[in-house]
Amino acid sequence: MTTLDEFMTALTGDSVADAVAEGRCLAAPVGCGAPVFNADGSLRHSDPDDDPEQYVAEWRLTGLCADCQDAHEADEEKAVERHTWACNAYMAHLDLMADLMTGEGE
């Protein structure tokens, strides 16, 4: 079984362990390579309403900074929306075909 760190290293040539040890995000194309913390030690992230502890915990697991975590989450939400749209369109197609086959669509 491959660990997340092994997978990321194989994919990007960068590792979660190295990114965390160096206080940065994973290198592109997965992350942005930017520092995770500001010079004063605070989390480098633009939304003050977010929980910095949650982002730091996630960064230690994934190697992704707060901004990259948000970007990947937005991408996942878009993928779910596209999947939902495709499923709904397919179901409508099946309903139409069933109506045509039973004569209800005439």
Sign of CA dihedral 76, 82, 86, 92: positive
Q: Which residue range forms the structural domain that includes residue 66? A: 4-102
Q: How many CA atoms lie within 13 A of 67 on its CB side?
A: 14
Q: Going residue by residue through the chain (106 aa), what tens digit of pLDDT does each one get?
A: 577 778 778 877 888 899 999 999 999 888 899 999 999 988 887 676 778 888 889 889 889 998 888 887 765 666 556 666 666 666 776 777 777 778 765 5
| 3-class SS of residue 38 | coil
DSSP classification of residue 37 = B
0.75 exceeded by pTM: no
Tally the domains of the chain.
1
